[in-house]
Amino acid sequence: MESFKQLGVGESYIKALADLKIKKPSEIQQKAIPYLLQNKGDLIGQAPTGTGKTIAFGLPLLHSVSENKKGIQGLVLAPTRELCQQIAKQLFKLTKYGPKIFTEAIYGGEKIEIQIANLKRPTQIVVATPGRLLDLIDRGAIDLSEVKTLILDEADEMLSMGFKDELERVMDTIHRSSAKWLFSATIPLALQSLITRFMNPGLHRISVSKNVEINTKIEHQFFICEQSQKFDYVYEFLKSQGSAKGIVFCRTRADTEVVARKLMGKHISADALHGDLGQRDRDKVMRAFIKGRIKVLVATDISARGVDVEDVAFVIHYQLPEQIESYTHRSGRTARAGKRGISICFVDKYELKIINQIEKTLKVNFIKI
């Protein structure tokens, strides 16, 4: 395995990576970083969540930006507020010992006037959700004329959330000569049409295997029960965890509400996190969870994107994810910052085949309890 130094990463960034306890590049980083450092063209990186994509595009982006130019040189689009915050936070940490490069995260749910004021400061990189970015473009409050690099992170998720028109408008706004880097777990037809229309036909493609490196500090468990018994067993598990914090994953917004309400009825401090929540309510739930006033967060996959809370002791899969790769993202909410964690699936006998698929695809070893 090559080191970050061998990939061409600057010393100041290697030092920052060491602070983040990142010493060896992941597969996507090994494939993307040297190409993006040496080439100015378009790139598609197909990789599941949890493979280290942010650093894969973040390091080359930082290398390409000049701290002496005050205009926006890099634009990153992401599907959710939380992912925008996470990307901006990681870029900030990577510049700890390096050039003074300033990143601004812009998204809905915050006062647009404050974001407009912030953009008047020197800002080399903007990380944005498509909708709020268009609001700023329509107001003439953001200048994208100097953007040299446009990055679409989790592009398939942005399309599934209905951002196709917004993405097309943004890509029409950016200069045709700008490099476009697209990262996505899947390439659906709608995304392929976007690629054909806006990206160079001679673009470079990379992909990584689905056997994502799973955090070895996570213990993967499954428990077999009837569907009608599932809630009761989840409740018993939560009681056994005492005051520890955890996340319960459901497939739909409606299910998160039902499960959270039933848990609260059993005197478990829980709340739901899903896409129908207004930004103020969402922030309120997250603050309560971070501060420990809520013990259990009941969430959908999309709503939990970018949730980065260090002391999550366990993850419960109340319902298995629709895409096997999402298991990695869900499980990755626990065992953060070097701590240990549990990822437990409550399944009926018909769902055992999915457990087997996860084991084979992601190289996870499950323990039956």
Task: Express each pLDDT in 158-217 by its tens digit.
Answer: 887 889 999 999 999 999 999 999 998 888 888 999 999 999 999 999 988 655 556 778
**Is residue 307 predicted with pLDDT exceeding 80?**
no
Whether the Cβ atoms of residue 150 and residue 77 lie closer than 8 Å to each other: yes
Please state the separation of Cα 243 from the chain's center in Å. 27
Name residues whose C-beta falls within 8 Å of residue 304's C-beta, 6 or more positions apart in sequence.
82, 247, 249, 273, 297, 329, 330, 333
**Is residue 277 predicted with pLDDT exceeding 90?**
no
Start-end of CATH 3.40.50.300 domains in the chain: 4-207, 218-368
In this predicted structure, what is the pLDDT of residue 328? 81
Whether the Cβ atoms of residue 357 and residue 345 lie closer than 8 Å to each other: no
Q: Residue 153: which pLDDT band, with cuts at 50, 70 and 90?
A: very high
Task: Express each pLDDT in 217-270 by its tens digit.
Answer: 899 999 999 999 999 999 999 999 999 999 999 999 999 999 999 999 999 999
Task: Express each pLDDT in 103-121 by its tens digit.
Answer: 999 998 889 999 999 999 9
Phi/psi region, residue 135 (left: phi>0; alpha: psi -120 to 50; beta: rest), is alpha
- List the CATH code of the domain at 218-368: 3.40.50.300
Share of the chain above pLDDT 70, in %: 96
- List the CATH code of the domain at 4-207: 3.40.50.300
Question: What is the enclosing helix (H) or strand (E) of 345?
Answer: strand 341-347
**Is residue 306 predicted with pLDDT exceeding 70?**
no
Closest CA to 52 of 11, 23, 79: 23
In this predicted structure, what is the pLDDT of residue 75? 98
**Is residue 1 predicted with pLDDT exceeding 70?**
no
